[in-house]
Structure 1
Amino acid sequence: MAKKRIYLNAFEMNTPGHQSPGLWAHPDDKSYRYKDSEYWIELAKLLEKGRFDAVFLADVLGTYDVYNGSRDAAVRQGAQAPVNDPALVVPFMAAVTKHLGFGVTASVTHEHPYTFARRMSTLDHLTKGRVGWNIVTSYLKSAAVNMGKENQIKHDERYDVAAEYLDVTYKLWEESWEDDAVKVDKENGIYTDPEKVHDIHHEGNYFKVPGAHLSEPSPQRTPVIYQAGASTKGRAFAAKNAECVFIGAPTISATKDTVDKLHADIKEAGRSSEEVKVLTMFTPIVGRTEEEAVAKFNDYKNYISHEGALALFGGWTGIDLSAYDPDENLRYVESDAIQSAVENFTKINPDKPSTAEDIKEFVGIGGMGPYTIGSPEQVADTMEAWVNEAGVDGFNIAYAITPGTFKDFVEHVVPILQDRGLVQTEYGGNTLRDNLFGHGDQLPDHHPGKNTKGVLVK
């Protein structure tokens, strides 16, 4: 039996049809309400009631246009299109909660670090220290060309950009303003002591940021660092910087392989695996009984959009399955998309190669991650098995329908996990970082973010 606490994120996106393409058409699905502040407010209250650690907000800056060489399938099927900004829903959710964290996805290749650092500091202030940053390098070519680039930056170079981007933001967040710079001294008319605000003097291969951070230090200074790359380069980046790593693999064995590699990289980077929480994607289909759950799953299957699934797969992997026969085996093709995704999709069934038909069925509910079907006890047992056998620390809970999947999980599964001592019954800290690790609000002193060796001048 698992002994350590299981960490829970809700996996969401400011879009209809996040990980289960086509299920927006189900009569009980409310994902079309993604445009309404009330949807996010209600969801936040539900997740805090279920003692979720955070809501993890995915994002893409382009459309999925690999399948059939067109975006039409993704747009027609609502496959992560249309999509709105993830950061702007956070203040609504923060206003009605006290502890729930917010992991915001933002790309290092399509936004300048100087302005981005201010946006995250603003959110950390407004949430009283409950913000995390999911660092992505943007795998869609459609995003790159719409941001004015000739083509997508090569996969490994994107991580070189990410390393420098993070270096810039660390300097802005951690070094630019001293802890006691802000005085709010009404008697002497001094709001901030200018002697305690420093330029970061950054000049690198990709960015030049000579000046000081625009924002005063927020409760966490640096947001909790999430990262979601499972390629060799991605794992090395995560091992050095990440506090939470999000992975998606179809089986326990494939997940264990990724976790083992990640833990080895973390050790090589001179950090402890205790400093990094590994969360895997997971879609629970819960019924009061197993029979009810199976009936619910069979109902959901009627709404799967295979065209939408193939559109998502094309964007994730760079592989256009319109050129495949249904029973043709998937072939590995190196691309500048998500390299680990192709490898994972070859492991859907450990006993035989994956075909195009397998992939569109698998992606239809839960996207790149697994789903489980059962009674509350069965779902809880399955989650324990993943923790014990794959070595994960927790789960990014994706939905088949929203908010129904989350409601079922909070009402029926969370109490069982709490009774087993696996999910928190009360939050342990006020900031996201302190709740996750219990060691205070800010990065530990030995973290690279505290040791950028920036040249600070007034």
Structure 2
Amino acid sequence: MTQNQPLLFNAFLMNTPSHIQHGQWRHPDARQTEFDNLDLWVDLARTLEEGLFDAMFFADVSGLYGPADGRYVDNVHEGLQIPSNDPTVLLGALAAVTDRIGLATTSNVMQNPPFNFARQISTLDHLSRGRIAWNIVTSTQENAARNFGLDALVEHDERYEWAEEYVDVAYKLWEGSWDDDALLVDRSGGRFADPDKIHKIRHRGARYSVEGPHLPSPSPQRTPLLFQAGGSPRGIAFAARHAEAVFIATPSPEVARTHIEGARAQAVANGRHPDDIKFFQGLSIVAGRTEAEAQRRYDDLLQYASVVGFQTHAALGILPDGTRLPEDTPLREIPNNGGRGHVEWLLQEIKDREPVLGDLVRRRLIGQAVVGTPDRIADELERWRGAGVDGVNLVNWRLPGSYEEFNELVLPELQRRGLAKTSYGDARTLRGRIFGSDRLPDRHPAAAYRGAFSEASRYAASVVP
């Protein structure tokens, strides 16, 4: 399926000083300390468009890592996603200074009512002319739950049930509230739009009551490109039903292959096509013109890496007083109502013994770093593509240097091998570039709401045959 296709590339980012590679902000060349300065992101966006990146993929959180009542001294010292700013606001600015690159935001189901969120996304999709994506998440943090008025984080699988209703409301607003020909802009007749073709959705569910109609007119994509990241069984089931792009962080191409084949089989069982979902593996790259140069660069990066930062980000085994469980504590014995995908993948990778907490921290510290010459990096990316991976979420070490290094050293070799595109092509929307169509296909569950709220449809549904 992906054997002869160029890989897709996203820049994996966060509007914070320390996102994934903790400790790197301390390096004098690292500009992620300027995360609250728009100039950094504008400069980076232009660099990424020069490198033909498909999207700027912004992660986000709405709370602290660790126990809700615990100390957060390490989080603050490390700059570990605190301070952090709202990526959705940033996308509005980036839409004005970019032309082709996609703009993906992360928003969890707790932080924004679906009516308001759907309106914000439609606005951004209009402003960007169809380049917006949404990374659907359910949150993993107790502190985040308390920030939005909950006593505790909802149980893991129940959070996905919440997400099912949340996306259902959004689909109704994006796909069903306005007919395709509702917008008239009839100057002589004094009719901006046709009221008979704009519909209230009248949603009533377990969590939400939303009347509608959707206030924005249909944007170029209507529904944004839908990302999701989840490796638990419930997360995979959600992706198989809803996602168009799935972010994975599997420890090897072999584990990736198993995950991808299983998720695509579930998508088919839901009436979708196996290639309706693209899979993006998280990788970091350290390139050099020689192996020795690449290793020197990698050694310099590791010199600044913060073990405490990675331990805190792992967010397992931290007790309320700030102490940590021993590194030899089996992962299966640690309560985990957060992100289970990393643990699930680690259990698949380590088969000869019981994985322990130290394995999780070391995996996060080492990550999926590909170190070497452009030729060696291309070889490794071919392995991932051969396992069914469609694209890469490229994790940065330092901004903007990681992406400048990629553009200069790695991209030409990838293009020579057919592993990276040589132009953006003619499609203007993000979905159009990735899937060849601006709109979701009819087999996606959101498509069921097209025309569902017209008076004729409601009358027909009420008539008993």
Q: Same fold (TM over 0.5)?
A: yes
- 1:251 equivalent to 2:252? Answer yes
- 1:137 equivalent to 2:138? Answer yes
Aligned partners of 2:126 and 2:82: how far apart in 1? 30
Q: Note the C-alpha offset of 1:191.
A: 1.2
Aligned ranges for residues 1-400 of structure 1 at < 5 Å?
2-66=3-67, 69-314=70-315, 317=316, 322-346=323-347, 353-364=354-365, 366=367, 370-388=368-386, 390-400=387-397
Task: Determine the structure 2 residue equivalent to 1:409.
Answer: 406
Q: Note the C-alpha offset of 1:363.
A: 2.0
Partner SS for 1:387:
helix
Q: Which amino acid aligns with 2:300?
A: D
Q: Note the C-alpha offset of 1:99.
A: 1.1
Aligned partners of 1:408 and 1:353: how far apart in 2? 38
Aligned partners of 1:354 and 1:24: how far apart in 2? 30
The answer on whether the counterparts of 2:145 and 2:153 sit within 8 Å (CA) in structure 1 is yes
TM-score computed with the length of structure 1 as normaliser: 0.93
1:397-442, Cα deviation, whole Å (9 max, x unpaired):
001111111111111111111111221111131000000011x211
Higher mean C-alpha deviation, range 121-130 or range 440-449: 440-449
* CA gap 1:127/1:173 in 2 versus in 1, 3 angstroms: same
Q: Note the C-alpha offset of 1:189.
A: 1.5
Q: Note the C-alpha offset of 1:326.
A: 4.0
Aligned partners of 2:68 and 2:115: how far apart in 1? 35
Q: Note the C-alpha offset of 1:95.
A: 2.2
1:57-116, Cα deviation, whole Å (9 max, x unpaired):
100000112399322211111112111101122133222322100111111122100000
Q: Which amino acid aligns with 2:438?
A: D
Partner SS for 2:174:
helix
1:192-223, Cα deviation, whole Å (9 max, x unpaired):
22121110011011111112001111000000
Q: Note the C-alpha offset of 1:334.
A: 4.6
Task: Determine the structure 2 residue equivalent to 1:441.
Answer: 438
The answer on whether the counterparts of 2:317 and 2:324 sit within 8 Å (CA) in structure 1 is no
* CA gap 1:356/1:229 in 2 versus in 1, 3 angstroms: closer
Identity of aligned residues (%): 41
Aligned partners of 1:328 and 1:107: how far apart in 2? 30
The answer on whether the counterparts of 2:42 and 2:94 sit within 8 Å (CA) in structure 1 is yes
Q: Which amino acid aligns with 2:428?
A: N
The answer on whether the counterparts of 1:20 and 1:365 sit within 8 Å (CA) in structure 2 is no
Q: Which amino acid aligns with 2:203?
A: H
Q: Note the C-alpha offset of 1:274.
A: 1.1
Aligned partners of 1:144 and 1:38: how far apart in 2? 33
Aligned partners of 1:169 and 1:191: how far apart in 2? 24
* CA gap 1:52/1:350 in 2 versus in 1, 3 angstroms: farther
The answer on whether the counterparts of 1:313 and 1:319 sit within 8 Å (CA) in structure 2 is no
1:11-61, Cα deviation, whole Å (9 max, x unpaired):
001111111111111122111111111111111111111111111110000
* CA gap 1:356/1:238 in 2 versus in 1, 3 angstroms: closer
The answer on whether the counterparts of 2:177 and 2:453 sit within 8 Å (CA) in structure 1 is no
Q: Note the C-alpha offset of 1:372.
A: 1.1
Q: Which amino acid aligns with 1:89?
A: L
Gaps of 5+ in 2: 459-465
The answer on whether the counterparts of 2:68 and 2:143 sit within 8 Å (CA) in structure 1 is no
Aligned partners of 2:349 and 2:24: how far apart in 1? 21
Q: Note the C-alpha offset of 1:252.
A: 2.2
Aligned partners of 1:69 and 1:38: how far apart in 2? 35
The answer on whether the counterparts of 1:109 and 1:158 sit within 8 Å (CA) in structure 2 is no
Partner SS for 1:294:
helix
Partner SS for 1:214:
coil
The answer on whether the counterparts of 1:131 and 1:223 sit within 8 Å (CA) in structure 2 is yes
Aligned partners of 1:319 and 1:271: how far apart in 2? 41
Higher mean C-alpha deviation, range 54-63 or range 446-455: 446-455
1:285-315, Cα deviation, whole Å (9 max, x unpaired):
111211111111111111111111111001x
CA-based RMSD of the aligned residues comes to 2.1
Query: May I ask how many residue pairs the two structures share in their alignment?
Result: 451
* CA gap 1:6/1:162 in 2 versus in 1, 3 angstroms: same
Aligned partners of 1:20 and 1:121: how far apart in 2? 32
Gaps of 5+ in 1: none
